[in-house]
Amino acid sequence: DAKTTQPPSMDCAEGRAANLPCNHSTISGNEYVYWYRQIHSQGPQYIIHGLKNNETNEMASLIITEDRKSSTLILPHATLRDTAVYYCIALNYGGSQGNLIFGKGTKLSVKP
Amino acid sequence: NAGVTQTPKFRVLKTGQSMTLLCAQDMNHEYMYWYRQDPGMGLRLIHYSVGEGTTAKGEVPDGYNVSRLKKQNFLLGLESAAPSQTSVYFCASRRIEGYEQYFGPGTRLTVT
Cite the DSSP H helix spans in chain A. Answer: none
DSSP 8-state secondary structure symbol assigned to residue A5: B
The pLDDT of residue A72 is 98
Asked if the bond preceding B8 is cis, omega within 30° of 0, the reply is yes
- Spatial CA neighbour of B54 closest among B73, B72, B67: B67
pLDDT digits (tens, 9 = 90+) for A41-77: 899 999 999 999 899 999 999 999 999 999 999 999 9
CB contact under 8 A, A44 and B99: no
Residue B39 CB-density burial (10 A; 0-12 exposed, 13-18 middle, 19+ buried): exposed
Given a cut of 90, is residue B96 above it in pLDDT? no
Distances (CA, A) of A6 to A70, A86, A102: 10, 9, 11
Q: Which residues of A touch B109 (CB under 8 A)?
A: none
Interface test with B, best of A35, A38, A87, A88 (most B CBs within 10 A): A38
Q: Between B24 and A29, whose confidence is greater?
A: B24
Given a cut of 70, is residue B98 above it in pLDDT? yes
Q: Which residues of A touch B103 (CB under 8 A)?
A: 43-45
Q: CA-nearest residue of chain B to A91?
A: B99
pLDDT digits (tens, 9 = 90+) for B52-84: 999 999 999 999 999 999 999 999 999 999 999
With beta carbons less than 8 A apart as the criterion, state whether B52 and B70 touch: yes
Q: Does A3 touch chain B (CB under 8 A)?
A: no
